[in-house]
Structures are given as structure tokens and as C-alpha cells.
């Protein structure tokens, strides 16, 4: 049987379409309850994780028209931005580009700023023009133009990293300095629910495809940088208006702030080939293990080692706290989800697992699994992707399709 995308869109509009999340479909596959093309119309996929190639294009109101000619420099909450490309001569506004990896301090960067903009927080603006400083305070929601652009997101088949040197390394691939001698592995990627894992030929996810970016409607611009047939990724764009701060934010690595992004995409089940691709499981998806320094491949495993039989959330046992000063878990949490003595803030926690490594009282525990590296079981010490949020954005997208607020094709 074959269905066209307009036919599927009509079924959705008529309220007779069957839409499921990738997670729901994989559960059926594991029960050997494989649906037919007739039975299922759309599968929604999602991913959430550190996506360094993210930036924002902003128009920042700074002063009344005529107060300065053009800005030479600008910071927002201390995060440096690049003024331009439009000079906005004499308008008192500054167009600028902010990198998600730009930093105001070791604990605050572009990713944090993007979450603050989406949440409507107060922002401190400092601009410079011809040696004079201009300051303004605005709320994130007062920015007249704010658009997020990603240059490399939703990477399919990302890598696990190990540090084979005998010394620990400071790197964006580790929150605490990365232990040497391959004593731990860090991983990224949401495996079987990743959009491109389910559409490996990019039949349905390509330039112009509607997607959810941090919960806001967005579009695929095309392939991202370093995208290849074997390991594709996407460039995306979306307005900040409508973004849910819980899907985004900053993530502090041992080498400084990085940027979290969540992406949801819908795959229409048009024919047997589309369905066959959607049946992929974590067990089928390769996860190359590479050396942190030279990126040479040292082993190969599967995403099932990361996401099957492991935990998606952290368990807390506060009675075990030995009241160390300072609280190492609070100091190390890359998202600011821990304030000592309080439950983890679930709106910030991405289940990365760092607190389970650093807390001497074992207040925080989570089964993160292990991967084989050169014949040795190596514990996973950090997840830079959050499967739970990937599932949440998939479910969010499913609901929007069913209630008619998200069109699967333009
Ligand atoms: S690191 Fe763990 S044991 Fe120490 S204060 Fe923090 S929660 Fe308590
Ligand atoms: S798992 Fe622990 S360290 Fe990681 S984000 Fe959640 S609370 Fe913070």
C-alpha cells in the first residue's frame, strides 16, 4: 500500500489519522507487534542534547533613534555578540549574531542567554559606539526579532568519546575533567528516537520540512556542517517566540559553556520503505567510540548500550548527604539543576549523570550503563543528550499534529 503526504494530511484534518511517537512504535516493535502502512500515518521523533553549532540572530533596542550612528560592540547579559550585518545607521537598534558557545563567564554563555530570552527574563544590554557606552535593560519578550539558527543539529549516529592519554583532559565532551586511560566514556545522541535515525535517506526531513525547535515551529534549512550520507545532521531555523525554555539552555562543560537544543520532526508513513526505516531500534544503531584527542575510532558499539536497561532519570536520597562544603554536586551540575539541600530542579536537569559521579555521599544514583572499549567494560560517565526530553518533544509534536496546530508539510 502507498499513501501520499497530502492524503495523510487530509486524514489528519479529518480526525482519522493514527499518529504515534517513535518511542510508542519501538515499544510495539519490541513486542513483535509490527504495524502495517495502513495502520499508522505519522511517527513523531525527537532529540535533545548539546548542539554546539547554534546561534541567534537578534535585533536589540538600545537607544532612541539618532543617539548613536552604529554599534561597534554589544553584549547581552555579558555575552558578546557580533554587531551586524545590517549597520542600522542612526536607528538606535543593533542587529547582531550571538553564538550558543559565546561566554560571559565560566558559568554563563549563549545557551543560557537563549533560554533567558525565550523565558522573557530581564536582559542587560551594553553597546559601544565610537568609544561611548550605551546601556539598556529589556525583557526577552521585548526583542522585536529573535531567531535561532543551528548549523549542526540532530546528528545521527554521533560518537562516544574516551580519553586514552594518561592525564585528564579539559574538553567540551566532559563536564568534570575527562579521566585518562580510557577509564570512562561520554556519549551523545538519542538513538532510536532521533529523527534522522528514522529517515536515514532524508526522504521526509529535508530543506523546507516543518520541525519543532525547542518547542517552537521551525524549518529545516538543509544539511548541517559535517553532514554526510552515513552520519547526517541538520541546519534549522525557528523564531524564539513560542520556544519552551525547558527544551533549551546552557550546559557547562570542563571547557566552558555549551548550548542545549531540542528538535522534533514528523515522518509520514507513506509506504513499506518508510515503515521499514521507522522500525530501527537502539540495538541496530552503531555508536562509534573515538579517541578524544585525534578522533580516531578505537571501538564500535550500539546505542542499546546507552539507552536499553539503563535509567533515564536520577534517583535522589537526601538522607545520605554528608554535608560537604561546598556541595560538589551543586558546583559540578552543568545545568544549574542542583541547589544543595533541595530536590533536583527537573526543569533544568537533563539526566547527564555528573552528580552521580561527584557526590561522595551517593545522594544521586542512576544506572548509566557501560560500553566495551578495547575488550574492557568502560562506564558511561556523562550523557550529553537527554532521551527523556527527546521523548517529550516527540509527544508534544504528536499532540500538535492531532489537534491541527502543526502541519506535517508546508
Ligand atoms: S556533594 Fe553530595 S554529599 Fe556533598 S553536600 Fe552535595 S549532595 Fe551532600
Ligand atoms: S543529572 Fe545531576 S548533574 Fe546532570 S543535570 Fe541532572 S542534576 Fe545536574
pLDDT reading at 109 higher than 80: yes
- Measured from the Cα of 353, ligand 2's closest atom is 1
> Alpha-carbon distance 85 to 100, whole Å?
18
Q: Looking at the CA of 344, which ligand is closest?
A: 2
- Calculate mean pLDDT across residues 63-71: 97
Query: How many other β-carbons are positioned within 10 Å of the β-carbon of residue 166?
Result: 7
- Calculate mean pLDDT across residues 322-345: 95
pTM of the model: 0.96
The reported pLDDT for the residue numbered 18 is 97
- Calculate mean pLDDT across residues 319-341: 95
Instruction: Label residue 395 by pLDDT band (50, 70, 90).
Output: very high
pLDDT reading at 78 higher than 80: yes
The reported pLDDT for the residue numbered 276 is 98
Beta bridge partners of 220: 236
pLDDT reading at 341 higher than 90: no
The reported pLDDT for the residue numbered 396 is 98
pLDDT reading at 410 higher than 80: no
Cα 11 to ligand 2 centroid, rounded to whole Å: 42
Within 333-402, where are the H helices? 354-358, 387-402
> Which residue lies with its CA nearest to atom 4 of ligand 1?
324
Q: Which residues contact 291 (CB under 8 A, 6 or more apart)?
A: 161, 162, 163, 164, 297, 298
Cα 112 to ligand 1 centroid, rounded to whole Å: 25
Cα 359 to ligand 2 centroid, rounded to whole Å: 11
The reported pLDDT for the residue numbered 383 is 97
The reported pLDDT for the residue numbered 157 is 74
Instruction: Pick the closest to residue 67 from 83, 90, 88, 44 (CA basis).
Output: 90
Number of H helices and E strands in the chain, helices first, is 8, 24
CB environment 38-59: b (16+ within 10 A), e (fewer)? eebbbbbbbbbbbbbbbbbbbb
> Alpha-carbon distance 377 to 277, whole Å?
30
Average model confidence (pLDDT) across the chain? 96
> Which residue lies with its CA nearest to atom 7 of ligand 1?
321
Cα 379 to ligand 1 centroid, rounded to whole Å: 22
Percent of the chain, pLDDT > 90?
96
Instruction: Label residue 156 by pLDDT band (50, 70, 90).
Output: confident
The reported pLDDT for the residue numbered 229 is 87
Q: What are phi and psi of 135, to 5 degrees?
A: -120, 150
The reported pLDDT for the residue numbered 22 is 98
pLDDT reading at 249 higher than 80: yes
- Measured from the Cα of 335, ligand 2's closest atom is 5
> Which residue lies with its CA nearest to atom 1 of ligand 2?
351
Q: Is the CB of 344 under 6 A from ligand 2?
A: yes
Binding-site residues, ligand 1, Cβ < 6 A: 321-324, 327-329, 340, 359-361, 363
Amino acid at each position: 500500500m502507498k499513501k501520499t503526504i497530502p492524503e495523510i494530511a487530509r486524514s489528519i484534518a479529518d480526525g482519522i489519522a493514527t499518529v504515534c511517537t517513535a518511542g510508542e512504535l519501538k515499544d510495539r516493535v519490541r513486542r513483535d507487534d509490527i504495524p502495517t502502512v495502513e495502520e499508522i500515518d505519522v511517527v513523531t521523533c525527537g532529540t535533545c542534547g548539546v548542539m554546539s553549532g547554534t546561534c541567534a540572530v537578534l535585533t536589540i533596542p538600545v537607544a532612541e533613534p539618532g543617539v548613536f550612528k552604529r554599534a561597534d560592540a554589544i553584549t547581552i547579559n555579558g555575552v558578546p555578540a557580533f554587531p551586524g550585518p545590517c549597520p542600522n545607521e542612526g536607528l538606535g537598534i543593533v542587529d547582531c549574531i550571538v553564538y550558543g558557545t559565546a561566554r560571559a563567564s565560566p558559568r554563563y554563555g549563549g545557551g543560557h542567554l537563549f533560554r533567558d530570552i525565550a523565558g522573557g527574563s530581564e536582559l542587560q544590554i551594553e553597546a559601544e559606539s565610537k568609544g561611548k557606552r550605551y546601556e539598556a535593560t529589556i525583557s526577552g519578550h521585548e526583542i522585536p526579532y529573535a531567531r535561532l539558527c543551528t548549523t549542526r543539529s540532530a546528528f545521527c549516529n554521533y560518537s562516544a568519546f574516551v580519553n586514552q592519554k594518561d592525564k585528564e583532559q579539559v574538553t567540551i565532551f566532559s563536564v568534570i575533567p575527562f579521566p585518562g586511560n580510557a577509564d570512562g566514556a561520554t556519549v551523545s545522541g538519542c538513538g532510536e528516537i532521533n529523527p534522522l535515525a528514522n529517515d536515514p535517506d532524508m526522504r521526509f526531513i529535508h530543506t523546507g520540512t516543518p520541525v519543532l525547535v525547542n518547542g517552537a515551529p521551525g524549518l529545516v534549512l538543509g544539511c548541517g556542517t559535517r553532514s554526510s550520507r552515513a552520519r547526517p545532521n541538520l541546519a534549522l531555523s525557528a523564531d524564539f517566540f513560542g520556544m519552551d525554555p525547558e527544551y533549551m539552555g546552557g550546559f557547562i562543560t570542563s571547557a566552558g559553556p555549551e548550548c542545549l537544543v531540542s528538535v522534533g520532526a514528523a515522518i509520514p508513513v507513506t509506504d513499506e520503505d518508510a515503515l521499514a526505516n521507522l522500525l530501527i531500534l537502539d540495538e541496530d544503531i552503531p555508536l562509534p567510540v573515538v579517541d578524544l584527542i585525534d578522533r580516531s575510532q578505537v571501538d564500535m558499539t550500539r546505542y542499546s548500550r546507552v539507552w536499553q536497561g539503563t535509567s533515564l532519570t536520577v534517583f535522589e536520597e537526601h538522607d545520605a548527604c554528608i554535608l560537604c562544603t561546598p556541595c560538589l554536586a551543586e558546583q559540578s551540575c552543568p545545568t544549574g539543576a542542583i541547589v544543595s539541600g533541595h530536590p533536583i530542579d527537573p526543569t533544568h536537569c537533563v539526566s547527564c549523570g555528573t552528580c552521580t559521579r561527584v557526590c561522595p555521599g551517593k545522594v544521586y544514583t542512576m544506572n548509566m550503563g557501560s560500553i566495551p572499549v578495547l575488550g574492557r567494560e568502560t562506564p558511561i560517565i556523562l550523557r550529553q543528550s537527554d532521551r527523556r526530553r527527546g521523548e517529550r518533544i516527540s509527544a508534544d509534536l504528536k499532540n500538535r499534529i492531532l489537534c491541527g496546530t502543526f502541519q506535517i508539510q508546508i
